A and B are shown apart, each in its own frame.
Chain A
Amino acid sequence: MVIDPITLIFLTLAVTTLAAVLFFLIRAYALIHEELHESQKLNTQLQNQLSEKPVKLLATAHEKAQEIIEQANRQALTMLASSKEYENTSNVELRDKLTSLEKQQEDVFNQASQEMKTSYQNLLTQIQEEDINTLKSMTKDIESDILADFNEFRTSLEKETINSEKIVKEKIDEEYLTLEKELESYKKQKYEELDQDIYKILYRVSEMVLSQGISFDRHKQLVLEALETAKKEQVFK
């Protein structure tokens, strides 16, 4: 293959140009890289500086805050001390005022109770007088009522007594008649019983006399007679 010399020169020039461009590029890259490295270092330094600064700030802030708190405490203590003083003074004043108020109240109550006592006593006396009057009038009324009732009761009692006497007399008469009849019947019954008893006595005496008087042979004879009678009456069927 035959290469055209022009083309070859062109190519050589092109390659040379490209090599020169590449050289400049590499150099530029190296420079940029150095710059970047520098800037990174700077950045690190800056970052370190920045990280140390807030700690310091915080420490200073803490110190300041402590100071402020201590100052506030001192102020509060002074205020408390002053308020305690004020309290003590106000307590004493209040106590004095209360004592005076109590005295005033006591005086007022004493006066009021005295007045009430007097008015109550007056009222009581008045009521007593009224009661006595009422009682007197009531007693009179009751007396007159009782007298009227008693008179009425006496008249009715007299009437009742007279009636009762009549009834009792009638009852007594009736009872007397009944008793008389009962007595008569009792007497009759007793007489009858007495009659019966006399017969019984007589009968028993007769039995005794007869049983002693009957001889052994007569007994035998009586039994045989009884047997004969029984035979006749067909008792032994």
Chain B
Amino acid sequence: MDLHTQIMERLRLKSELSQVQLCLDEFLASFFAPKEHSQMMMLFENLPNGLSQVFKSTLLKDPITPNNQSAIKKAGEKLQEKLATCKTIQITLAFQPNETAIELFSDWVKKNVDGGTLIDLQFDKTIVGGALIVSSGIYKDYSVRKALSNRFRLQKDEIAGLLS
């Protein structure tokens, strides 16, 4: 399994992707600077969801030497390019999801949409429940707020009758 596939398996959110991209940028920017192997590994230390381990076991498996230097740099740049083309779906929720919920939604997206699609998670309390979804420029409102608004509009007279 190549590095990109391994990373995409673990990536779930756009924020995680941004973290990975930042680490890669820093790694490639300081590639030719005289650093020790442990220092290079430290760059990827704070990545979530086992991503740190993936980098350590692949890109930084062996210390960088003049022999492997070029190959490692190429692999890093290739990964950078692939990650830049990642597809995302923006989902706005009415609650703060925990890891289980994030995992649940990510699994659903990867299973039902595309394995390489990430979630751009947003939070808006006013939507009450459900979700707002934006994908490939299409906006859809599946929130409880909208359902409630529709209900009020349709049953206005009934509600007015209840009030009087």
Enumerate chain A interface residues (CB-CB to B < 8 A).
Answer: 195, 198-199, 202-203, 206-207, 210-211, 214, 216, 218-220, 222-227, 229-231, 233, 235-237
Contacts and interface: CB of A to CB of B under 8 A. Distances in A.
A211 B131 contact: no
Give the contact-size bracket for chain B: 35 or more
B150 to A, nearest CB: 11
Contact of B145 (A207, A220, A225, A226): A207
A230 B145 contact: no
Interface string B105-145: 10011001110010000000110111101011010101111
30 contacts: A195-B160, A198-B163, A199-B159, A203-B149, A203-B152, A206-B152, A207-B145, A211-B129, A211-B144, A214-B94, A214-B129, A219-B95, A219-B129, A222-B130, A223-B101, A224-B104, A224-B105, A224-B108, A225-B142, A226-B130, A226-B131, A226-B133, A226-B140, A226-B143, A230-B140, A233-B140, A236-B112, A236-B113, A237-B135, A237-B136
B11 interface: no
Most buried by B among A216, A219, A220: A219
A223 B159 contact: no
Most buried by A among B104, B130, B135: B130
B152 A202 contact: yes
Contact of B94 (A219, A230, A231): A219
B91 interface: yes
A227 B163 contact: no
B41 interface: no
Interface of B: 89, 91, 93-95, 97, 101, 104-105, 108-109, 112-114, 117, 125-126, 128-131, 133, 135-136, 138, 140, 142-145, 148-149, 152, 156, 159-160, 163
Contacts of A216: 95, 101
A219 B93 contact: yes
Given A206-B148, A210-B128, A225-B130, A236 B89 contact: yes
Given A235-B138, A236-B112, A236-B113, A202 B131 contact: no
Contacts of A237: 135-136, 138
Contacts of B133: 226-227, 230, 235
A189 B159 CA distance: 20
Most buried by A among B94, B129, B135, B152: B129
A142 B64 CA distance: 124
Contacts of B142: 225-226, 229-230
B148 A223 contact: no
